[in-house]
Amino acid sequence: MHILVTSAGSSLAQCLIPGLAAEHDVRATERRPVAGVDALAVSPLGHDLSTNLLVRGIDVVVHCAEPLPDESSASYLDYMTRCTYNLLLAAGQEGVKRVVFLSTLDLMTPYPSDFMVTERWRPLPSTEPRVLGKHLGEMVCREFARDLKLPGLALRLGRPADGAQPAATDLAPSDLVQAVRQALTAQTPRWVVVHIQGEFPGARFPLRDAKKWLGFAPNQPSIEAGSEAGKGSAA
């Protein structure tokens, strides 16, 4: 399978690229040159033929959607809206089969910490640029899927595990690679959002949908999730 991974300079992409390259042909793209990244295509994701050429022959786009170092808020939000639109438009025109958008569980953490928050609860994005940008990127991907232009999955990722006491949204690198690898070929509706994190005492976000749609199985020891508390707004 031919995979395009965006935001190639980010730690997220650099974790994924070697994990996917073992089984797939991976092309990486970034908006500026990145040292040490093989098969890198530098692209501003403009509304022109260059973006079509970037995705031509690609089966799945994995949109890591991460900011550049020292990028301004305005530039990042432009990347998450206008540039993401350009990327998906070109992907739909070139016959790409789906987009896997890497979002964040920070969209859901404002809910009370004793609630079990599912994918059907409405996101509560903050004004912090990366969180707001991920929310806007999700919306762009969702609308493309709903308009039958390009099927998509949004994986709302926990924060990288640091090897210390697990926090409520920790995600090990191996679980990140597993989730994305499974999302490439999962049989899903045209648009699906799933929460991806470890599974341990204190985990706030049930993994039922990730297990249902992706067959996701975290490497952390499985525990029985607590009862869902409260009532959330539908997404």
Rg (CA), the chain: 17
Q: 161-182 b/e with 16+ CB inside 10 Å = b?
A: beeeebbbbbbbeebbbbbbbb
Residue type, 32: R
Tokens for 171? 């995600």
Q: Which fold has domain 2-214?
A: Rossmann fold (3.40.50)
User: Above 80 in pLDDT, residue 224?
Assistant: no
146 touches 190 (CB < 8 A): yes
- Distance (Å, rounded) from C-alpha 114 to C-alpha 58? 42
User: Above 80 in pLDDT, residue 235?
Assistant: no
Tokens for 1? 């399978």
pLDDT attached to residue 180: 98
pLDDT attached to residue 53: 98
Report pLDDT digits (tens) over 140-170.
Answer: 999 999 998 899 999 999 988 655 555 555 7
Report pLDDT digits (tens) over 199-218.
Answer: 877 778 999 999 999 999 98
pLDDT attached to residue 216: 96
How confident is residue 79, by pLDDT bands cut at 50, 70 and 90? very high
The position carrying tokens 């648009």 is 191
Report pLDDT digits (tens) over 40-68.
Answer: 999 999 999 999 999 999 999 999 999 99
Residue type, 77: L
- Distance (Å, rounded) from C-alpha 158 to C-alpha 167? 9
Phi, psi values for residue 128, rounded to 5°: -60, 130
- DSSP-based three-state secondary structure for 65: coil
Give the pTM.
0.90
The full 3-state SS of 192-203, as one line of letters, equals: EEEEECCCCCCC
pLDDT attached to residue 232: 44
Q: What is the DSSP string of 77-125?
A: HHIIIIIHHHHHHHHHHTT--EEEEEEEGGGTTTS-TTS---TTBPP--
Percent of the chain whose predicted confidence (pLDDT) is above 90: 79
